[in-house]
Amino acid sequence: MTNLIPKSHPRAQSLYVRERLVHAFDNGLVAKEGLMAHGRGEAFDYLIGEKTSKSAKNAIKAAAFALVSAKYPVISVNGNIAGLCPKEIVKLAKAVNAKIEINLFYSSNKRKQNILRTMQKNGAKEILGVDKKNSTRISGLDSARRIIDKNGIYVADVVLVSLEDGDRTIALKKAGKKVITFDLNPLSRTAQTADITIVDNVVRGIKELIDTCVKVQKKKLQSMKFDNKKNLAKSISEIRNYLERRAKIA
């Protein structure tokens, strides 16, 4: 990676994340479309002030409870996730005893193998979604997008899907899964359909999610009620308040 970005740059964190994704693209993990999806994410990150909001922290708590109490949790990984936070995915899976499944919107065997190698290099022992013998289908989706692993998402009760397309989230919900997502856009179909939407950059939020899962396991946190629609409304009003504050300064 380059050292062209000075640490004092006001957007240093966001520019580092962008570089990581470009690096992952050059290494055959991320699709071109993944770069564009990241651009949409960046725009929303700007609007939330590039920090983990109160509503995101609330959703992270709810997600930690859901993951810790799940019977068969699965973490779905795509190219962007593998490029941005592979170590943290492995750490989270270990913390809550979840399976990791590679599941791509723009499926290609080569990209799948690159993602597999990256996840293994970062400590993953078992990766699902790569063995054709174990594949099955989820209804309501076309072609490659509906392939899931018989030992993974197919039998999961709770699925963490991040930076995910709305069609697939809707199909997972129809199949009876509890869906948790990281999605910077509180208005996307995924954000609106999931049971628990964490409106935060996955790069920031996943660290807090791991720590919260550990706290929940040590019973240092009380269980909580969570209403995703209300929480999304809160995140939209946080954006509005942030923009009003910025407009006053400008």
List residues near ligand ATP by CB under 6 A: 37-38, 40-41, 44, 163, 165-166, 182-185, 188-190, 201-203
Contacting residues toward Mg ion, per CB under 5 A: 165-166
Q: What are the structure tokens assigned to 87, written together?
A: 């170590």
**Cβ-based nearer residue to Mg ion, 187 or 243:** 187
**Cβ-based nearer residue to Mg ion, 16 or 106:** 106
**Cβ-based nearer residue to ligand ATP, 64 or 84:** 84
CB of residue 169 to ligand ATP, shortest distance in Å: 6
Q: Which residues pair with 198 in a beta bridge?
A: 182
Q: Give me the residue whose beta carbon is nearest to ligand ATP.
A: 41
CB of residue 243 to Mg ion, shortest distance in Å: 24
CB of residue 163 to ligand ATP, shortest distance in Å: 4
CB of residue 217 to ligand ATP, shortest distance in Å: 25
Which of ligand ATP, Mg ion, none binds 202 (CB below 5-8 Å, type-dependent)?
A: ligand ATP
Which of ligand ATP, Mg ion, none binds 118 (CB below 5-8 Å, type-dependent)?
A: none
**Cβ-based nearer residue to ligand ATP, 40 or 54:** 40
**Cβ-based nearer residue to ligand ATP, 80 or 151:** 80
